[in-house]
Structure 1
Amino acid sequence: MATKTVHISDLHHEHKLWSNELTFQKEEIKIFKNWLAEISQKNTATDIKMKVEHFQNQFILHNEVLDTFLHDIKVHEQELEKFAQENEIAASHARFTDHANFRDRVETQHSLYSALKHEFKAFTSEYL
Structure 2
Amino acid sequence: MIINNKSIRELHFDHELWLIEMAYWKQEIEVLDKYLAAVNASYSDTLVRAEVEHFQNQFIIQLNFINSLKNDVKAQEALISLLEKDINNKKLQQKKADDEYDIRDRMLTNQKLYVELKQSFKQFLSNKL
TM score, norm. by length of structure 2:
0.83
TM score, norm. by length of structure 1:
0.84
Counterpart Cα distance in 1 of 2:6 and 2:117: 33
Give runs of aligned pairs for residues 100-119 of structure 1, distance below 5 A.
Answer: 100-119=101-120
Give runs of aligned pairs for residues 1-128 of structure 1, distance below 5 A.
Answer: 4-84=4-84, 86=85, 97=97, 99-128=100-129
- CA deviation string 1:21-43 (max 9, x = no partner): 11111111111111111111111
- CA deviation string 1:74-123 (max 9, x = no partner): 11112222344x35xx6xxxx87482322211110011111110000001
Counterpart Cα distance in 1 of 2:37 and 2:77: 36
- Larger relative contact order, structure 1 or 2 (CA cutoff 8 Å, min sep 6): 1
Counterpart Cα distance in 2 of 1:97 and 1:104: 12
Partner of 2:90: none
Output the aligned Cα RMSD. Answer: 2.0
Unmatched 5+ residue regions in structure 1?
A: none
